[in-house]
């Protein structure tokens, strides 16, 4: 079956337009999705790194604070005084009525609250302190304490006439203020010899108990106390990971311990109880999840090597009922779900399982698409935390449904556009087909003759429209081709020289040998320099354009000569800005040093230029090293360009900051140390790179 030109044009234009649009749309979709996914990974990683740094900084601060506070003269004096006072009240006994009141507190106040938060029903005798000092102190400072639970620390003096109460009155307010100011949940002092809790700010039921043989001797805190007793290391600080701590009514609690020494004698152990709320606020940005870049479905959480959370889940805080429902649907055990509801917390309640947690347990960090603990597909950035004594990991995630919402919108818009393009193409092809058929045949025949090398070919078209103009243009073109054919060989040689001046030699050679191949390369380690001359535009406005061009050529030419002397390759200059690279075409082990030497020479060149021309131009230079990708950009008017994070950082360093300063990244600083005097600027780039300033060559 023979189709007319008009029919073929309709079909052809329709197919071409749809195919081209589909290819462009698909490539746009893929590149957009990949770029969006990478940007989300970068955002999650940035948030994760920031939160990890905050948490690691806080734990280091708490360690230093525990050690410092345990070494203070006040703490040592308080410990000794409490120990002496404990000896004098050791034989104190409660009256039958007082014993009854203490037991009633346990039965009616403490045990009901504790039972709500522990997995198994406890008997009173497993918690109740044995006869002796623990009962006495708990009666005086808990049962007789007029303040409510959670406010027992407000009592300064039990007024029982004992030396212990006088010591308590002397030191309690200072230690309580320390706890309040720094946000700790509790501060305790344990006797180094008897393992007894001789002082507690919060006055919970561990007061007076023996961590060696008492009701709480099986806790992780008690194990840490025994470790410090064995080691007797004055500089030791021991972290205790979160556990369900019964004296705190079964709430999760973590601790920091440091020994207290009087000279060479260990007299006590300082115990700081981690402030869970503070750690939650650090991780959740005070529950401002969306504002911190995690959208509506993202969260960041801590997880221990046992698989339990170490902070409150965003979804539990936002909607506890829905969170518990999803835990049940996900297949978590009934006891775990009930425990989460019972203690009103996600800390140490549900054992989480995911590939990200598995990799953290192996000490690995990374990114990926995983299924989270609620069964949703999420983008994840994860890493283990650098916390001495605490095997925690940190995970930042966001639902793929939210993350890829812009991609889905793009897909919908793409399908709509393809439909419109197909309809418009059909109409356009129908209108154009009839007009094109006859003149096109003549032009095709003439074109074939011309393509065979018959430059005397001419075409005749009788129409009085644009095709006539096209025919006339074709005839003019044929005549010019006849003349220009003789110039082609000369132009080829000229183009060869021009090509080598525009591109690195290896790239130019490869382009000549295989122009159809990809002209991109990856370079693992080069140094990129970006220089901006500040004030040249203002200078150009004050002088004639021709003179401005002369000055610019003179300045850039001097830069080019300096680059060649230092083994640096000029990539391009735009106006008074200059982009160069070292270690690209010629691999050099000292490419960073050469780039810095070139930067210093450029600074001298600009100073000489200012003196010679009476100008006041200033210079900004940024230098960074790392991997780049290079390639040919464009088809007819192409340039060789570099791109990648390394180039972006160098440009960022060269476009910001003070004038007259050579700013380098930490990677550069580490490789020129000892050769150049470098000082830290105290600032970081947008990518988190520490910024340093070159001052001079080391003398």
Contact 511, 520 (CB under 8 A): no
Question: 3-state DSSP call for residue 373?
Answer: coil
Q: What per-residue confidence (pLDDT) applies to 34?
A: 80
Q: What per-residue confidence (pLDDT) applies to 96?
A: 94
The predicted model gives 547-561 an average pLDDT of 93
Question: 3-state DSSP call for residue 564?
Answer: helix
Using CA atoms, how far apart are residues 275 and 267, in angstroms rounded to an integer?
A: 26
Q: Are residues 223 and 77 in the same domain?
A: yes
Q: What per-residue confidence (pLDDT) applies to 98?
A: 94
**Residue pLDDT, tens place only, 283-312:** 888 888 888 888 898 999 999 888 899 889
Contact 93, 136 (CB under 8 A): yes
Contact 88, 136 (CB under 8 A): no
What are residue 629's phi and psi, to 5 degrees? -115, 130
Residue 630 lies in a domain: yes
DSSP string, 602-624: HHHHHHHHHHHHT---EEEEEEE
Q: Are residues 91 and 126 in the same domain?
A: yes
Spatial strand order of the sheet with 392-399 comes to: 299-304, 392-399, 377-384, 366-371
DSSP string, 113-181: HHHTTSSSPPPGGGTSPPTTHHHHHHIIIIIS--SPTT-GGG-----S--HHHHHHHHHHHHHHHHHHH
Using CA atoms, how far apart are residues 244 and 118, in angstroms rounded to an integer?
A: 8
Using CA atoms, how far apart are residues 152 and 345, in angstroms rounded to an integer?
A: 23
**Residue pLDDT, tens place only, 241-282:** 988 899 998 888 999 999 999 999 999 999 999 888 888 888
Q: Report H helices in 452-587.
A: 466-484, 488-502, 505-513, 536-542, 545-565
**Residue pLDDT, tens place only, 503-532:** 565 666 666 665 555 567 889 999 999 999
Q: Are residues 498 and 595 in the same domain?
A: no
Residue 564 lies in a domain: yes
SS3 of 393-441: the string is EEEEEEEHHHHCHHHHHHHHHHHHHHHHHHHHHHHHHHHHHHHHHHHHH
Q: What per-residue confidence (pLDDT) applies to 598?
A: 96
Q: What per-residue confidence (pLDDT) applies to 319?
A: 92
**Residue pLDDT, tens place only, 470-482:** 777 878 787 777 7
For residue 350, how many other CB atoms are within 10 A of its CB?
A: 21
The predicted model gives 30-39 an average pLDDT of 79
Q: What per-residue confidence (pLDDT) applies to 41?
A: 85
Q: Are residues 464 and 539 in the same domain?
A: no
Q: Are residues 597 and 672 in the same domain?
A: yes
Tokens of 102: 């203490």
Question: 3-state DSSP call for residue 453?
Answer: coil
Residue 226 lies in a domain: yes
Residue 525 lies in a domain: yes
Strand partners, 243: 253
SS3 of 504-530: the string is CHHHHHHHHHCCCCCCEEEEEEEEEEE
Using CA atoms, how far apart are residues 559 and 557, in angstroms rounded to an integer?
A: 5
Q: Are residues 496 and 550 in the same domain?
A: no
User: How far is residue 535 CA from its own chain's centroid?
Assistant: 36
Domain boundary residue among 274, 305, 325?
274
**When comparing pLDDT for 157 and 118, which is higher?**
157
**Where residue 615 sits, what CATH number does that domain have?**
3.30.70.1230
Residue 436 lies in a domain: no
Using CA atoms, how far apart are residues 481 and 483, in angstroms rounded to an integer?
A: 5
Tokens of 122: 């406890």
Q: Are residues 536 and 673 in the same domain?
A: yes
Using CA atoms, how far apart are residues 620 and 618, in angstroms rounded to an integer?
A: 7
**How would residue 435 be classed by pLDDT, with cut points 50, 70 and 90?**
low
Q: What per-residue confidence (pLDDT) applies to 432?
A: 66
Asked if pLDDT for residue 154 goes beyond 80, the answer is yes
Domain boundary residue among 231, 249, 274?
274
Asked if pLDDT for residue 454 goes beyond 80, the answer is no
Q: Are residues 486 and 589 in the same domain?
A: no
Using CA atoms, how far apart are residues 685 and 219, in angstroms rounded to an integer?
A: 46
Least confident of 223-227, 279-283, 592-596: 279-283
Residue 11 lies in a domain: no
Give residues with Cβ within 8 angstroms of 168, minimum separation 6. 82, 141, 156, 157, 158, 199
**How would residue 618 be classed by pLDDT, with cut points 50, 70 and 90?**
very high
**When comparing pLDDT for 23 and 43, which is higher?**
43
Q: Are residues 607 and 490 in the same domain?
A: no
Report the b/e string of 269-280 with b at 16+ CB within 10 A: bbbbbbbbeebb
State how many domains the chain has. 3
Task: State the DSSP H helix or E strand holding residue 221, giving kind and residue range, or none if neither.
Answer: helix 220-231
Q: Are residues 494 and 571 in the same domain?
A: no
Using CA atoms, how far apart are residues 460 and 449, in angstroms rounded to an integer?
A: 14
Parent domain of 464: 453-502
Report the b/e string of 489-521 with b at 16+ CB within 10 A: eeeeeeeeeeeeeebbeebbebbeeeeeeebeb
Q: Are residues 574 and 616 in the same domain?
A: yes
Domain boundary residue among 212, 246, 274?
274
Residue 58 lies in a domain: no
Q: Are residues 480 and 559 in the same domain?
A: no
Residue 549 lies in a domain: yes
User: How far is residue 540 CA from its own chain's centroid?
Assistant: 43
**Where residue 94 sits, what CATH number does that domain have?**
3.30.450.20
For residue 153, how many other CB atoms are within 10 A of its CB?
A: 21
Asked if pLDDT for residue 687 goes beyond 90, the answer is no
Contact 640, 570 (CB under 8 A): no
């Amino acid at each position: 079956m023979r189709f007319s030109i008009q029919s073929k044009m309709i079909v052809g234009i329709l197919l071409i337009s749809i195919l081209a649009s589909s290819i462009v749309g698909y490539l746009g979709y893929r590149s957009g999705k990949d770029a969006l996914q990478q940007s989300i990974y970068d955002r999650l990683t940035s948030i994760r790194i920031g939160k990890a740094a905050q948490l690691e900084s806080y734990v280091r601060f708490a360690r230093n604070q525990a050690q410092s506070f345990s070494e203070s003269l006040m703490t040592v004096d308080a410990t000794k005084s409490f120990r002496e006072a404990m000896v004098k009240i050791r034989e104190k006994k409660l009256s039958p009525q007082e014993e009854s009141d203490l037991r009633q507190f346990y039965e009616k106040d403490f045990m009901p609250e504790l039972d709500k938060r522990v997995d198994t029903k406890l008997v009173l005798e497993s918690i109740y302190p044995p006869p002796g000092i623990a009962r006495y102190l708990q009666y005086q400072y808990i049962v007789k304490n007029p303040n409510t639970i959670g406010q027992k620390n407000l009592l300064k003096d039990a007024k029982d006439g004992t030396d212990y109460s006088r010591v308590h009155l002397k030191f309690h307010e200072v230690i309580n203020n320390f706890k309040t100011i720094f946000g700790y949940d509790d501060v305790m002092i344990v006797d180094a010899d008897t393992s007894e809790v001789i002082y507690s700010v919060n006055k919970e039921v561990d007061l007076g108990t023996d961590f060696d043989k008492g009701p709480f001797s099986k806790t992780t805190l008690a194990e840490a106390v025994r470790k410090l007793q064995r080691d007797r290391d004055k500089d030791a600080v021991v972290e205790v990971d979160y556990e369900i701590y019964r004296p705190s009514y079964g709430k999760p609690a973590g601790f920091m311990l440091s020994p207290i020494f009087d000279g060479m004698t260990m007299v006590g152990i300082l115990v700081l109880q981690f402030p869970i709320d503070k750690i939650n606020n650090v991780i959740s940005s005070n529950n401002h999840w969306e504002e911190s870049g995690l959208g509506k479905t993202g969260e960041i959480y801590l997880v221990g090597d046992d698989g339990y959370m170490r902070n409150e889940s965003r979804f539990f805080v936002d909607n506890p009922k829905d969170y518990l429902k999803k835990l049940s649907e996900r297949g978590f055990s009934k006891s775990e779900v009930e425990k989460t509801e019972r203690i009103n917390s996600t800390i140490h309640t549900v054992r989480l399982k995911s590939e990200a947690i598995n990799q953290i347990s192996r000490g690995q960090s990374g990114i990926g698409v995983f299924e989270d603990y609620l069964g949703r597909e999420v983008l994840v950035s994860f890493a283990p935390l650098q916390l001495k004594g605490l095997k925690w990991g940190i995970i930042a995630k966001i639902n793929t449904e939210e993350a890829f919402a812009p991609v889905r919108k793009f897909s919908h818009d793409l399908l709509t556009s393809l439909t419109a393009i197909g309809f418009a193409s059909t109409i356009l092809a129908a209108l154009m087909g009839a007009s094109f058929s006859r003149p096109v045949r003549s032009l095709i025949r003439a074109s074939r003759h011309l393509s065979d090398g018959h430059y005397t070919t001419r075409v005749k078209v009788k129409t009085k429209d644009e095709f006539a103009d096209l025919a006339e243009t074709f005839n003019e073109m044929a005549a010019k081709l006849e003349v220009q054919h003789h110039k082609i060989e000369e132009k080829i040689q000229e183009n060869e020289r021009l090509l080598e001046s525009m591109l690195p030699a290896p790239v130019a050679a490869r382009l000549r040998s295989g122009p159809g191949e990809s002209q991109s390369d990856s370079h693992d380690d080069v140094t990129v320099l970006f220089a901006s001359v500040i004030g040249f535009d203002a200078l150009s406005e004050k002088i004639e354009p021709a003179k401005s061009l002369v000055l610019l050529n003179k300045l850039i030419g001097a830069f080019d000569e300096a680059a060649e002397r230092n083994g640096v390759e000029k990539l391009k200059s735009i106006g008074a800005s200059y982009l160069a690279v070292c270690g690209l075409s010629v691999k050099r082990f000292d490419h960073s040093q050469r780039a810095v030497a070139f930067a210093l020479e450029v600074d001298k060149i600009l100073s000489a230029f200012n003196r010679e021309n009476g100008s006041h131009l200033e210079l900004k230079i940024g230098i960074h090293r790392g991997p780049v990708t290079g390639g040919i950009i464009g088809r007819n008017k192409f340039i060789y360009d570099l791109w990648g994070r390394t180039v972006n950082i160098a440009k960022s360093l060269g476009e910001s900051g003070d004038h007259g300063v050579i700013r380098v990244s930490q990677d550069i600083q580490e490789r020129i140390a000892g050769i150049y005097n470098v000082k830290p600027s105290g600032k970081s780039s947008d990518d988190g790179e520490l910024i340093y300033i070159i001052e001079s060559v080391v003398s």
